[in-house]
Amino acid sequence: MKKTNLRSSFRYTNLLFLVFALLLLSLQSCNNKKETAQANEKPISDLSIYNLPSQWTNQDGKNMEMKDMKGKVLVMVMIYTSCKAACPRLVADMRNIEQRIPQKIKENVQFVLVSIDPTVDTPKRLKSFAIENKMDGDQWVFLRSTEENTREFAAVLAVNYKKIAPVDFSHSNIISVFNADGELAYQQEGLGVNSDQTINKITEEAEKLN
């Protein structure tokens, strides 16, 4: 009889322990969700691109603001789709960076290509360009806006561009990395340059979100 009671007591103790462990896991999950929510509600700093009120349109014709991408590391470049010289190489550099990003942090990174020729680069044209260049996955965003908004954003990235012919522009070749708060973290300048430091910075910022 005593042996039976001992077994019952042991089972009861194990059951209490299991319930307690499940309760702790539940509380931890709630706390993690609360911390994530608090992070998303973090005030936007004065240095963040999410302060920009400009309206943009993506390759799917959806209207958006920069702050709609808040919470991800942004890798950004300014190009135009009819470019035959520097832009194809910038696009190749962006694809190369995307392919080298560790798989475990890819969902924390958004690759954004901003047009400096919004007259030609309609959402339809941007969509076609994305498909042509195998950049039509969810990680890729193509944006266009007004000339004024484009100029303002180029100034933020320290990108200079100038129309030199009806369909040609001279422009800076800069890939910029922004942290999840929209603050500039790193810039890569040039074409076909070594992207190791860029990838390291992207990875460093993206791992903070895991």
159 SS3 class: coil
pLDDT attached to residue 166: 78
191 Cβ contact list (under 8 Å, min separation 6): 86, 89, 90, 93, 173
> What is d(CA 33, CA 41) in angstroms, rounded to the nearest whole number?
12
pLDDT attached to residue 43: 80
Tens-binned pLDDT, residue by residue, of the chain (210 aa) = 444 454 455 444 444 444 444 455 554 544 544 444 444 567 888 899 999 999 999 999 999 999 999 999 999 999 999 999 899 999 999 999 999 999 999 999 999 999 999 999 999 999 999 999 999 999 999 999 999 999 999 999 999 999 988 778 999 999 999 999 999 999 999 999 999 999 999 999 999 998
DSSP state of 1: -
pLDDT attached to residue 15: 47
pLDDT attached to residue 113: 98
pLDDT attached to residue 36: 45
> What is d(CA 59, CA 124) in angstroms, rounded to the nearest whole number?
7
pLDDT attached to residue 42: 72
Q: In what order do the strands lie in the sheet with 63-64?
A: 63-64, 56-58, 140-144, 109-115, 73-79, 174-178, 184-189
> What is d(CA 191, CA 139) in angstroms, rounded to the nearest whole number?
22
- Residue that has been written with the tokens 């954004």 in this structure: 112
pLDDT attached to residue 5: 52
> What is d(CA 186, CA 174) in angstroms, rounded to the nearest whole number?
10
